[in-house]
Amino acid sequence: MIDYLYSDETYKIRGAIYEVYKEIGCGFLEAVYQECLEREFKLLGIPFESQQPIDIEYKGDVLKQKYIPDFICFDKIIVEIKAVKELANEHHAQVINYLKASEMELGLLVNFGSYPKADIKRLIYNY
């Protein structure tokens, strides 16, 4: 059996995502899914921070601009949500950039706009 990075934690996060999708389906704005996931994470006891800014560095200097991922769960997994027909390369790049800036290894890119189920992409960034 393959041992995935943070498999227990991602299993719990995925369960929360599928529960939100089961309850409200697709067709809402990202802000609705954001709020629903916050509630579901609390119900399931998943530790998270919502929309916490991450510093971006350029040549050793911290920029004024910040990255703001939708969630950081378990202090080590970035969860970025979308509500689009299909995910594009720039969505993947966004999560990879969040991982680089935060020095985290695992990100979940979630699309609630897909049908008939939420689409979850697991993205790894190794330093």
- pLDDT greater than 80 at residue 54: yes
For residue 2, pLDDT beyond 90: no
Is 114 a domain residue? yes
Q: What is the mean pLDDT of residues 51-80?
A: 95
pTM beyond 0.85: the answer is yes
Q: Tell me: the pLDDT tens digits for 66-110?
A: 999 999 999 999 999 999 999 999 999 999 999 999 999 999 999
Rounded to the nearest integer, the mean pLDDT of the chain is 95
Range 27-44 average pLDDT: 97
Instruction: State the total domains in the chain.
Output: 1
Q: What value does the mean pLDDT take over residues 3-14?
A: 92
User: Is 60 part of a structural domain of the chain?
Assistant: yes
Is 1 within a domain?
no
| Residues facing 72 on adjacent strands | 49, 78
CATH number at residue 24: 3.90.320.10
- Cα–Cα distance for residue pair 77/63, rounded to 1 Å: 23
Name every residue whose Cβ is closer than 8 Å to that of residue 106 and which is 6 or more positions away in sequence.
5, 6, 10, 76, 77, 78, 99, 122, 123, 124, 125
